[in-house]
Amino acid sequence: MEDCAVSFWIYIGVMSILVGGAMKKFLAFHIGAMPSMMAWLGATLLVERLCALCMPAVLARLILCVSCWLYFTWATPKPLLPVEGKAVFITGCDSGFGNATAKRLDAMGFEVFATVLNLEGEGAKHLRRVCSSRLTLLQVDITQPQQVQQALLDTKAKLGMRDLWGLVNNAGLCVNIGDVELCLMSNYRGCMEVNYFGTLNVTRAFLPLLRQAKGRIVTISSPSGENPFPCLAAYGASKAALNLLISTLRHELKPWGVKVSTILPSAFKTGQSSNTEYWEKQYKNQIQNLPTSLLEEYGEEYLLETKELFHSYAKKANEDLSPVINTIVDALLSPQPQVRYYAGPGVTLMYFICSYLPFSISDRFLQKVFVQKKVMPRVLRKQPGLSLINNNNSIKENMNNSNNNNDSFTKSID
């Protein structure tokens, strides 16, 4: 009887450890962690079955000891690599993730090479003001190969015989949002030029230095590059191309000892995402350049609702960039960095839904979490049986309902 009582309390302890470990992995999981999480759950089920058979107290104690050892061995993070002597090149430091990363890495003791589009801009001035003399600002448009090559020469001159440990590909662009048919071809080309070709320019240029150092490549991408977010086709397509490029590069650089990581953030206020004037300008440019027949079929109110919905989501995006900055630091300094990091609230749930649930569920989820449109295209509204929503009050009411249902799953715009 006493043995059964001891077994019961040890059973409670073992189950707490196993279930706690599984929940910890779930709350911070990325898709690559699913096998280990399933192993935790399998072990939990096994222990539960053994305990149901009223195992002897000695066996229960043994399982408790093994569980504790496994939990603390696997759950305890390994110490990060030392920062001393490490140099990192970061693109897109005018604002957002790039600016915050440059400040964090400089404060940690890295030698930082930060690229900006404007050396006299507010972002560059802020970095000069708050960072140490180790930080070097470089004016670089990553779509211009000659500027990238000049940045490489400047970096090599400053480093001398020292190595370049890391490259953080952060610079990115989203030009307007809208249905595939309504986006201008210049939007598709603009996103691809910066997000794909620009990142490719920088990565190829700095690869010899990174191979020599057996260093790290960290790239900021987007969930929209893997999931079909409505109205983000131009941006998402460029990030999808980038994701495949970086994944291929990861395989090719294994023999060289270079570790490659991709970070996919959730919704954050970065760059132009909260710049109302910028998006108003993009919207007017879209209206002015769409074919008249297409604009008549969809209706200007349809495009207006898309723009307003995006504005409302951008305003509610997370201002605390630390989840992404922390993953960048881990990717640069962890002895075994993750292949992919899913940073920010809600993004892990989104990936679980889109990766493991039926399309009927994941499609509805994506439609609701980004632009839950209520206004039908003008031509469709004229068809019988379809609701007509054509006044500003209705649009605002539907936007408010959408905002209440969706808080943190929209994609950050770099």
Of residues 91, 134, 95, the one with CA closest to residue 115:
91
Chain centre to alpha carbon of residue 37: 22
d(CA 14, CA 173) in angstroms, rounded, equals 49
Give catalytic residues, as residue numbers: 235
Sheet containing strand 111-116, edge to edge, reads 136-139, 111-116, 87-90, 166-169, 216-220, 259-265, 340-343
| Phi/psi of residue 116, nearest 5 degrees | -135, 155
**Number of Cβ atoms within 10 Å of the Cβ of 157:** 8
**SS3 track for the chain:** CHHHHHHHHHHHHHHHHHHHHHHHHHHCCCHHHHHHHHHHHHHHHHHHHHHHCCCCHHHHHHHHHHHHHHHHHHHCCCCCCCCCCCEEEECCCCCHHHHHHHHHHHHHCCEEEEEECCCCCHHHHHHHHHCCCCCEEEECCCCCHHHHHHHHHHHHHHHCCCCCCEEEECCCCCCCCECCCCCCHHHHHHHHHHHHHHHHHHHHHHHHHHHHHCCEEEEECCHHHCCCCCCEHHHHHHHHHHHHHHHHHHHHHHHHCCEEEEEEECCECCCCCCCHHHHHHHHHHHHHHCCHHHHHHHCHHHHHHHHHHHHHHHHHCECCCHHHHHHHHHHHHCCCCCCEEEECCCHHHHHHHHHHCCHHHHHHHHHHHCCCCCCCCHHHHCCCCCCCCCCHHHHHHHHHHHHHHCCCCCCCCC
Under a CB-based contact definition with an 8 Å cutoff, are residues 19 and 44 in contact?
A: yes
d(CA 278, CA 173) in angstroms, rounded, equals 12
